[in-house]
């Protein structure tokens, strides 16, 4: 998603939005994962119910050998 390609980002956003229009029943699990700048979030839905969710943040530091 963060490749600088706005078209690709908008396709992903449109697909996520379309999931809300699909018939909701308890036979399909839906998983939403988001990541940006060291922040991560995930959620699992079963129909309208939230099964599990979590968020976390990691500070990453890369050191180059000189």
For residue 15, the surrounding DSSP H or E stretch is: helix 6-19
How does residue 41 score in pLDDT terms, banded at 50, 70 and 90?
very high
Task: Flag whether pLDDT at 16 surpasses 60.
Answer: yes
What is the structure's pLDDT at 47? 75
- Do residues 44 and 50 touch, judged by C-beta distance below 8 A? yes
Q: Please tell me whether the overall predicted TM-score, pTM, comes out greater than 0.75 for this model.
A: no
- At residue 22, the pLDDT reads 65
The number of distinct structural domains making up the chain is: 1
Is residue 6, in this structure, part of any structural domain at all?
Answer: no
Parent domain of 44: 24-66
Beta strands in the chain (DSSP E): 29-36, 39-46, 49-57
């Amino acid at each position: 998603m963060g490749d600088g390609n706005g078209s690709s980002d908008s396709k992903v956003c449109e697909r996520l939005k379309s999931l809300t229009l699909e018939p909701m029943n308890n036979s399909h699990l839906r998983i939403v994962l988001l990541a940006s700048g060291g922040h991560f979030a995930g959620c699992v839905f079963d129909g309208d119910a939230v099964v599990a969710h979590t968020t976390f943040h990691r500070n990453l530091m890369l050191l180059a050998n000189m």
